[in-house]
Structure 1
């Protein structure tokens, strides 16, 4: 038999999705894969019920239904501080996962280099490799997960084609400040580099932090490919509705890539989601208040248990420090945690380029009762997972 493609040899299947399967296997509270267990807004669900009886069951326009793009353009124009043209500056994709892949294939050729901050959402490394490009990893340093400007410029000096910026960041919850974004922007201009942003948590940013759209910085619209989705904002992760916003010359290429990757996003779901895109500012305040409450609830519970953790500035993830348990493998720890404690988590090593094995990722996008159940189970973590003293350094 001929050999299979070699492009996937350097990465595994998604560890995040694998841990969901492990959670199901052991009946664990799944705090690994970042999806909520509460319903989307009623208005969206009501519209979905209507749409099922209307004529939206065939292909929409490949790059997104006209009324969906118009509603999205109106919403994002207000937020990004510039008028977004729904006809030549938007491509609707099958989730932000496809948006990121399409963006990478739009700008990068085989052999190009792409800067990725570490820790990073696991898809970015795979996207880069599948595109045929080479990732250049630049570390973010805890506890604030700041970057070293000199290290970043050293990466830019390698003439990368693009930089991937997740803001707010998954998994560490970092929200980049204006000064940090300005450093990135100046380097992108100096070294003539594209910036691909992942801004799916744009509406989940905790005070006093502020989300700044990278494309809104001076001179950055022309070289920024903004990727996002409706998944986290409206609690519809299974609908797979994402998008790319960029200048027309970039969108012209992204349309072609998207067309041959997936043809188009689901037509009835686009129609139903328009209801959410037309929500007023009160909805986004309600959403932030909801997640602020959940963050406080979850962090207080972890503090009461006495396990060290990060405090996210945005998104809904925390990194838990498991050093005290003395496991050499954070993957083994997560499997033990699901089996013996009944809580699902993601090994931190899947997010770091550096040899990090003492952190695991949990999320709090769950009903209060689900979070209380997870915390109740975690109270017995030290009894059910005794420390391996021989490995503790």
Structure 2
């Protein structure tokens, strides 16, 4: 305490060490299999890693890259949006490279929100959403997704819109539930955004990890191009999460606004990796198809193992996370369950309650990541079966 008040800005009160850091440290300390934090345990394509090495050796990006991102990457992002979604974006004015999707979210919230604004977001939500909204001085308004389908109640969404609502924050495919918004849901959400003149920010980092259904960018819908900020990144698609290369695509006016905030955060980052990600985005369709097939098999392996151990399993349509209900195991507190899980089974998971404002709504749910090697998942499934199956 100094001057009689806490050191931490009151907007960040309650945002201490993230649960991911805590549980990953617990995994190391106990020698457990870490199915908590969402990072792969193998690197992505060798040719893309070599592209980063080549950029380093050729002196590309070793000094400050351009603020909006290197031209090669901005062009590749524009081509990606055209290739997969038939969406044209000007690489010079409508694309912005960021330090991962996390910075893109932070810069977007800081740029577009003012104190008193309200942001409607699907609950459970990725923890950085809450922190970024808080840093902007705005208020988050959760729309709770409920088991077993975790689909949004669109009537409830309409009821939460007030004169103070500035922005809808979407995440599809959705972390942690794995829900993928349908065409009908996206159309209805877009219609509400147009009707109430709302901005929409959509986190699409799992866009290529869809196992059932199709990923559809909401910006493609009528009236949405001028009001939507789309965010994605290379980490989830190419398994190089440590490179922290993300991006924003939006109208020139929205990109200018976001860049105004972003330039005072990192300014620039990941110079040589930007050149490598430009090459990654141009990989053939077979890469993307193979990634989906591999992760679908891993999803099914871990889902089966969790079910055999006695968990209620909500099989995800996308992402690389599985949400489970621990009540069939005679448990109801996900946080205490996850803290005891390393000792009981030698496995680490994440309690979903950390993604909720309404902690009681998320209390019985636990998230497992399946972006690990097949043999690791099989080992984890066996450990859980031995610990809990009767």
Counterpart residue number, 1:168: 173
Q: CA deviation at 1:52?
A: 2.3
1:198-246 deviations in Å (ceiling 9; x for gaps)? 0000001113x11101111111111000011000000011000001111
Runs of 4+ residues over 6 Å off in structure 1: none
Whether 1:377 aligns to 2:386 is: no
Q: Deviations over 1:164-189 (max 9, x none)?
A: 10000000000000111111111111
Q: Alpha carbon RMSD of aligned pairs, Å?
A: 1.5
What corresponds to 1:123 in structure 2? Answer: 128
Corresponding residue SS for 1:106: helix
| Number of the residue aligned with 1:286 | 290
Please state how far the C-alpha of 1:157 moved relative to its aligned partner.
Answer: 2.9
> Taking structure 2 as the reference length, what is the TM-score of the superposition?
0.95
**How far did residue 139 of structure 1 move?**
1.2
Q: Which moved more, 1:251-260 or 1:231-240?
A: 251-260
1:1-393 alignment to 2 at 5 Å?
A: 1-2=2-3, 3=5, 4=7, 5-56=9-60, 57-207=62-212, 209-327=213-331, 329-354=333-358, 355=360, 356-382=362-388
Of 315-324 and 2-11, more deviation after overlay is shown by 2-11
Shift of 1:350: 0.6
Q: Which moved more, 1:100-109 or 1:87-96?
A: 100-109
Deviation at 1:276, TM superposition (A): 0.4
Long gaps (5+) in structure 2: none
Deviation at 1:23, TM superposition (A): 1.1
Which is worse superposed, 30-39 or 346-355?
A: 346-355
| Equivalent position SS for 2:376 | helix
SS in 1 for 2:264: helix
Unaligned runs of at least 5 residues, structure 1: 387-393
Give the stretch that moved more between structures: 280-289 or 11-20. Answer: 11-20
8 Å contact from structure 1 (residues 215, 224) kept in 2? yes
Shift of 1:158: 4.5
Q: Distance in 1 between matches of 2:367 and 2:378?
A: 17
User: Relative to 1, partners in 2 of residues 1:325 and 1:304: Cα closer, same or farther, differing over 3 Å?
Assistant: closer
Residue 327 of structure 1, CA deviation: 4.4
What is the alpha-carbon distance in structure 2 between the residues aligned to residue 302 and residue 10 of structure 1? Answer: 32
Q: How far apart are residue 328 of structure 1 and its match?
A: 5.3
Deviation for aligned residue 1:10: 3.6
- Alpha-carbon distance in structure 2 between the residues aligned to 1:326 and 1:130: 39
TM-score, with normalisation over the residues of structure 1? 0.94
How many pairs does the alignment contain? 383
How far does the alpha carbon of each residue in 1:311-368 deviate from its partner, in whole angstroms, 9 at most, with x for none? 1010011112111444453222111102231101001111123312111110100110
Preserved CA contact (<8 Å) 2:69 2:268: yes
Q: Please say if residues 48 and 280 of structure 2, whose CA atoms lie closer than 8 Å, have aligned partners that are also in contact.
A: yes
Q: In the TM superposition, what whole-angstrom CA distance separates every residue of 1:293-318 from its partner, at most 9, and x where no partner exists?
A: 11111112223333211110100111
Match of 1:84, SS state, is coil
Q: Which whole-Å deviations, capped at 9, do the CAs of 1:28-59 have from their partners, x for residues lacking one?
A: 10000000011210110121222221112101
